[in-house]
Amino acid sequence: MRSGEFATILRLKERFRSDNAAGILLGIGDDAAVLEHVAAKASHKLVWTIDEQVEKTHFRRDLAGWIDIGWRSFMAAASDLAAMGAEPWCALSALSLPADFEDEDLDALARGQQAAALRLGTSIVGGNLTRGEVVTVTTTLLGTAEKPMLRNAAQAGDGIWVAGRVGLAAAGLFALERRLHDDRLDGVKEAWLRPWARIGEGRHAAGRAKALVDVSDGLAQDVGHIAEASGVRAVFDEGALREHAKRTGLDSIGELVLVDPLELMLAGGEDYALAAASEVPLEGFWRAGTFVEGQGVALKRTTGRERELFELGFDHFRSRM
Ligand SMILES: Nc1ncnc2c1ncn2[C@@H]1O[C@H](COP(=O)(O)OP(=O)(O)OP(=O)(O)O)[C@@H](O)[C@H]1O
Ligand SMILES: Cc1ncc(C[n+]2csc(CCOP(=O)(O)O)c2C)c(N)n1
Ligand SMILES: [Mg+2]
């Protein structure tokens, strides 16, 4: 069954209760949401992001449930706030839905979004609905940060520090796409279906680290953004990456899916880990390499040789991973 537009908005209003975030004067139901500007402390800056997830580009309905799709689209958007060292305040959600999209599917999608919002202590205070050929989920998030973390202040000698696991989500997507059924792959499927935005680690890095990004497109590409913006070279340490693969079980998963764990970590996206440039160790982060003088991104092999990493990772307008 498919309700009309206004009945659908009422369903969403029920679902997205906006009593979770402070300073929301008006949530869903009017032409726009109204926020109390003093809810952001005077010492804090506002940080604002938008992220769109498109069916067949970011998800397929035969690979993920609508709850998963709602969850991961919200977490992907929130991860950009984490990457700024910001804390989410409130969100807007715009959906494009095909005419045959069922009410129960919309309920599941909204449940996933709402669960993610709740877990991050934020609320969806409005949005938009339109009919479209495919499902798209667009999420804007407004957040606050005392000291927003940019990409451009890494220096030679800083470590590359990572919060969270990398390479697992790409292995999970690989396993889902190839319909690999093996209990040992449940963890990596979950990593792709239910990522977490690392808000806490981002806030910890803010003020301690020099630069921060989130890893949506693979370690090489996203740490490359810091290198490029800061005018330094990023050198990953093969030993550190292999150690991480061992710790997370990615090394044995790599054998199961016949993909080199190093490739999964450097080129596989959507884990939404954070990567920082920092002179000092950061709590909850592991060291993946070093920024040095120069440019580009490289992998230092255990033999000591450096391999340049060109054009690795996801790019919407190039080929896939
Ligand atoms: N259509 C657009 N109009 C204006 N600015 C844009 C547009 N698309 C991207 N940007 C800006 O370009 C910068 C990089 O955007 P991008 O989407 O690549 O972010 P990212 O964090 O690197 O990737 P991800 O989407 O995986 O989070 C951001 O500052 C973003 O606001
Ligand atoms: C069906 C399907 N095929 C491929 C992928 C892989 N993928 C899509 S977008 C992206 C980078 C992050 O997106 P963005 O850069 O827009 O934030 C990656 C790794 C997927 N998730 N689903
Ligand atoms: Mg980002």
Domain range for residue 297?
Answer: 159-308
What are the tens digits of pLDDT across the range 143-164?
999 999 999 999 999 999 999 9
pLDDT for residue 317: 81
pLDDT for residue 18: 67
Neighbours of 153 (CB within 10 A): 16
pLDDT for residue 314: 86
Is residue 136 located within the same domain as residue 264? no
259 CA from centroid of ligand 2 (Å): 18
Q: Minimum-distance ligand to the CA of 50?
A: 1
The verdict on residue 212 lying in a domain is yes
pLDDT for residue 312: 83
pLDDT for residue 108: 97
102 CA from centroid of ligand 1 (Å): 31
pLDDT for residue 125: 95
CATH of the domain at 38: 3.30.1330.10
Is residue 175 located within the same domain as residue 285? yes
The verdict on residue 271 lying in a domain is yes
What are the tens digits of pLDDT across the range 160-181?
999 999 999 999 999 999 999 9
CA 286 to chain centroid: 18
92 CA from centroid of ligand 3 (Å): 18
**Residues that constitute the known binding site:** 31, 49, 51, 58, 80, 127-128, 151, 214, 216-217, 270, 314
Is residue 199 located within the same domain as residue 129? no
Is residue 101 located within the same domain as residue 196? no
The verdict on residue 153 lying in a domain is no
The verdict on residue 30 lying in a domain is yes
Determine the atom of ligand 2 nearest the C-alpha atom of 170: 19
Determine the atom of ligand 1 nearest the C-alpha atom of 214: 21
Domain's final residue, options 92, 115, 145: 145
* Cα–Cα distance, 314 to 125 (Å, whole number): 31
pLDDT for residue 318: 76
CATH of the domain at 262: 3.90.650.10
Q: What is the β-pairing status of strands 87-97 and 136-145?
A: antiparallel
Q: Indicate if ligand 1 lies below 6 Å from the C-beta of 216.
A: yes
The verdict on residue 315 lying in a domain is no
Q: Indicate if ligand 2 lies below 6 Å from the C-beta of 216.
A: yes
The verdict on residue 313 lying in a domain is no
Q: Indicate if ligand 1 lies below 6 Å from the C-beta of 270.
A: no
Q: Indicate if ligand 1 lies below 6 Å from the C-beta of 68.
A: no
Is residue 98 located within the same domain as residue 230? no
Is residue 113 located within the same domain as residue 229? no
The verdict on residue 150 lying in a domain is no
Is residue 191 located within the same domain as residue 243? yes
Is residue 179 located within the same domain as residue 226? yes
**First-to-final CA distance of the chain:** 38
Residue 199's contacts (CB-CB under 8 Å, 6 or more residues apart) are 78, 81, 82, 86, 87, 88, 120
pLDDT for residue 3: 80
Tally the domains of the chain.
2
Is residue 51 located within the same domain as residue 102? yes
Minimal-distance CA residue to ligand 1 atom 4: 50
* Cα–Cα distance, 212 to 206 (Å, whole number): 8
> In the 8-state DSSP scheme, what is residue 44?
P
Angle (CA) 90 134 60, round 5°: 85
The verdict on residue 316 lying in a domain is no
Domain's final residue, options 95, 116, 145: 145
State ipTM.
0.93
Is residue 174 located within the same domain as residue 121? no
Domain's final residue, options 112, 145, 178: 145
pLDDT for residue 29: 87
Name the burial class of residue 104, with classes exposed (0-12), middle (13-18) and buried (19+) by CB atoms within 10 angstroms of its CB. Answer: exposed
Minimal-distance CA residue to ligand 2 atom 19: 269
Is residue 234 located within the same domain as residue 267? yes
Is residue 130 located within the same domain as residue 196? no
**Which stretches of the chain score pLDDT less than 70?**
18-20, 38-40, 319-321
